[in-house]
Amino acid sequence: MDTRNPLFALMVERSNTAPKRLVAPGPTHEQLQLIFSAAAQAPDHGRIRPWRFVLVPSHKREDLGQAFVQALQMRDIQAGPAQLQAAYEKAFRAPCLMLAVLDKAPTQAEIETSERLISLGCAVQNMLLMAQTLRLGSGITSGKAMNAPSLRSLFQLTEHEQGVCFLNFGTVSTTKPARSRPVVEEFVSSL
């Protein structure tokens, strides 16, 4: 095994970049297609593709900002102007933003939600690694607004769908020190 292969190095270098540190240029159309093609390589028990992704283009960021504001107002009637403004601004950060949606609708092959979530997680990780390979930064965001009525309505989620997290892609403006990683021996054992 040639550990000098640059792909190995890139894989282990992936790290989360906060959306505020992801700036233009975002992925080109071709790069985005590669990122979605990577998602399509995810394992999928029952071949039900229990997930989808919804892009939020720049002309829809305003709508998302309003949805974040409504979500905050709904869960905290005392939220002040500064908090509402912060919630609104979250919609405008990374140049490429999308919602990852999990589908829990019953299917002929009975696939547990946990298995569906793993499939979505694999799709997401494939996308993050593809972005890394393209020298793009990526970050995941979530939070209490994920399934607020205002967001569910904006993204037209069906009864059985769940917004799991947002994926953010762009060019890394500033880097942070690498975090320490879990020690292999601490999460691997043998019977």
Ligand X SMILES: Cc1cc2nc3c(=O)[nH]c(=O)nc-3n(C[C@H](O)[C@H](O)[C@H](O)COP(=O)(O)O)c2cc1C
Tokens, residue 101: 């949606």
Q: Segment near ligand X (CB under 6 A), from 12-20, 52-60, 67-75, 80-88?
A: 12-20
How far does the chain reach from its first CA to its final CA, in angstroms? Answer: 27
Closest of 164, 159, 155 to residue 114, by C-alpha: 164
For position 144 contacting ligand X by CB under 6 A, the verdict is no
Question: Binding residue for ligand X (CB under 6 A) from 117, 122, 140, 172?
Answer: 140
For position 133 contacting ligand X by CB under 6 A, the verdict is no
The residue among 84 and 140 lying less far from ligand X, judged by its C-beta, is: 140
The residue among 27 and 139 lying less far from ligand X, judged by its C-beta, is: 139
How many whole angstroms from its chain centre is CA 152?
Answer: 16
For position 43 contacting ligand X by CB under 6 A, the verdict is no
Q: For residues 136 and 133, what is the distance between their CA atoms, to the nearest angstrom?
A: 7
For position 15 contacting ligand X by CB under 6 A, the verdict is yes
The number of helix segments (H) and strand segments (E) in the chain equals: 7, 5
Question: Binding residue for ligand X (CB under 6 A) from 107, 142, 173, 175?
Answer: 142
Q: Segment near ligand X (CB under 6 A), from 2-10, 15-23, 37-45, 83-91?
A: 15-23
Task: State the nearest-atom distance from the C-beta of 191 to ligand X, in Å.
Answer: 28
Taking the C-alpha atoms of 125, 127, 129 and 133 in order, what is their torsion angle to the nearest 10 degrees? Answer: 180
Q: Which of residues 68-107 bind ligand X (CB under 6 A)?
A: none
Q: For residues 103 and 49, what is the distance between their CA atoms, to the nearest angstrom?
A: 8
For position 147 contacting ligand X by CB under 6 A, the verdict is no
Q: Segment near ligand X (CB under 6 A), from 38-46, 85-93, 139-147, 150-158?
A: 139-147
Q: For residues 83 and 144, what is the distance between their CA atoms, to the nearest angstrom?
A: 14
Q: For residues 51 and 20, what is the distance between their CA atoms, to the nearest angstrom?
A: 26
Q: Segment near ligand X (CB under 6 A), from 3-11, 14-22, 81-89, 102-110?
A: 14-22
Strands 22-23 and 96-103: unpaired
Residues that bind ligand X (CB under 6 A): 15-16, 18, 140-143, 165, 179
